Amino acid sequence: MKTRSIRLYDTYQAKVREFVPIEEGKVSIYYCGPTVYNYVHIGNMRPVVTFDLLERVMKACGYEVHMISNYTDIDDKIIKRALEEKKSEKELSDYYIKAYEENLKGLNILPLENHPRVSNYIPEIVDFISKIMDNGYAYKAGGDVYFSVTDDPGYGKLSKMNVDDLISGSRVETNEAKKSPMDFALWKVTDDKGIKFDTKLGSGRPGWHTECVVMINSYFKKPTIDIHGGGFDLKFPHHENENAQSWAYSGKNLANYWMHVGFINLNNAKMSKSLGNIVLAKDAIEKYGGNVIRYLFISTYYRSPINFSSEAVETARVEVEKLKKFSDSFQVKFALNGLEPSDGINSEEFDEFLGYLADDLNVANAITVLDKVIKEGNKALRNSRTSSEELFKCYNTFNKMIDTLGLKFERKVVSEEDKKIYDDYLAAKKERNFDKSDKLREKLIERKIL
């Protein structure tokens, strides 16, 4: 299958670039997943929705997509919490992984190929760190292993940070053992009560920045993948550090394209646990529905911040309602008139729609085309001369667009009883028996037929 051209903003080169895959027709993607020590908030889900949209768009453009995301199940926060709750780290992380997966379902996220967990990659991580040490980019200090930032001339290229500025302006805690305050831990030895691993690097745990590189290399079996991303804040230090390790390990960049997704603010303020202004994803999905949250996320360009306010949610709600109503009215029409489904879409319109999405996920413009289809569809529905084939073409086009955006509407079921009421309603109107028709109309509105 021929692939359609896609343009993506690449943080590394700081510009929109034509997407060129490593392997023709295929794309490998990894985005950083949650640290599973608690329920995730809505901000955590924006990158997930964004990458899910990217996957759908790339598939529609003819790509074979291989996308994975990790679960960080080894982390100080998990250990602390597990000790508090007198559970094992595994019990705790398993619980929150399950909770997280409910959110994936709620937001209609396509199943990923894999969700690697750090705890399953300890031997690979140890080998990886050893190789970096052999290559001269990491050193042991007080039992821990640190990455030597000053030995990497490319450090700071991704996040556009200058190492000297970072060091001089650093509020980083000074650690006597470290060569430079910017150096970060690859392996930390410990004798605390938390989970630890007995390895040739000592009894301890890996640093956070190593896991993703190792899992990318191990899973995709190559040093460089097509796209790597996550939230905006991951750019520095997390992704910068990952890429530094990749260079130290293989002499190659970890990814050809780096994508970073903007934040979600709550009433114009950053969500933070200390301020206590967190909206949990599960609560938002339960309260407003997955479609509304998803629509809210994708309707703003993914690199811009979103302000999560009651007005914003309401706007998204009304939009989704409109889409749902459109979908319903087609199904009602088909059912009431006993129309036989037919295939085919309006490919020019879908092409235009996809073209916008393929332009760095310009959902706003794509929705413009969707709205055009809805207007035409509504006109076609009212026009008694529209053929059933044309109606289905419009409906199919609409559905394909909705599916590409990752929205999902249940099928409207029109019962025999509904049909009967509808026929009676028409008859009463014809007889100008408005008392009766008004009552039937009430019923039909209740049943969402009108």
Partner RNA sequence: GGUUCCUUAGCCAAGUUGGUAAGGCAACUGACUGCAACUCAGUCACCAUCGGUUCGAAUCCGGUAGGAACCUCCA
Please answer whether residues 409 and 437 qualify as being in contact, where contact means their C-beta atoms are separated by less than 8 angstroms: no
H/E stretch holding 140 reads strand 138-141
Site residues for RNA, 208-227, by CB under 7 A, read 208
User: Binders of RNA among 106-135, rule CB under 7 A?
Assistant: none
Choosing from 252, 379, 408, 420, the residue that interacts with RNA (CB under 7 A) is 379
Contact between 69 and RNA (CB under 7 A)?
A: no
Q: Which of 88, 272, 337, 347 binds RNA (CB under 7 A)?
A: 272
Residues numbered 182 to 201 that lie near RNA (CB under 7 A) are 182, 184
Sequence-separated (6 or more) residues with CB below 8 Å from residue 194: 76, 79, 80, 82, 83, 89, 205
Exactly one of 236, 289, 355, 439 binds RNA (CB under 7 A); that residue is: 236
Residues 389-428 that bind RNA (CB under 7 A): none
Burial class (CB in 10 A: 0-12, 13-18, 19+), 337: exposed
CA-wise closest residue to 62 among 9, 114, 22, 24: 24
Tell me how far, at minimum, the Cβ of 284 lies from RNA, in Å. 13
Does 172 engage in binding with RNA (CB under 7 A)? yes
Minimal distance, residue 392 CB to RNA, in Å:
18
Per the CB < 8 A criterion, the answer to whether 131 and 249 are in contact is yes
Indicate whether 206 belongs to the interface with RNA (CB under 7 A).
no
Neighbour tally for 394: CB within 10 Å? 25
Inter-CA distances, 79 with 87, 187, 208, Å: 9, 16, 14
Report phi then psi at 261, rounded to 5.
-95, 140
Is 251 or 276 the residue whose CB approaches RNA more closely?
276
Q: Total number of residues binding RNA (CB under 7 A)? A: 72
Site string for RNA, 343-372 (x = CB under 7 A): -------------------x-xx-xx--x-
For residues 246 and 132, give the distance between their C-alpha atoms in angstroms, rounded to a whole number.
Answer: 9
Residues 13-42 that bind RNA (CB under 7 A): 32, 34-35, 41
Site for RNA in 37-66 (CB under 7 A): 41, 43-44, 46-47
Token pair, residue 90, equals 């595994």
Q: 191 or 268, CB closer to RNA?
A: 268
Considering only 230, 253, 254, 288, the residue that binds RNA (CB under 7 A) is 230
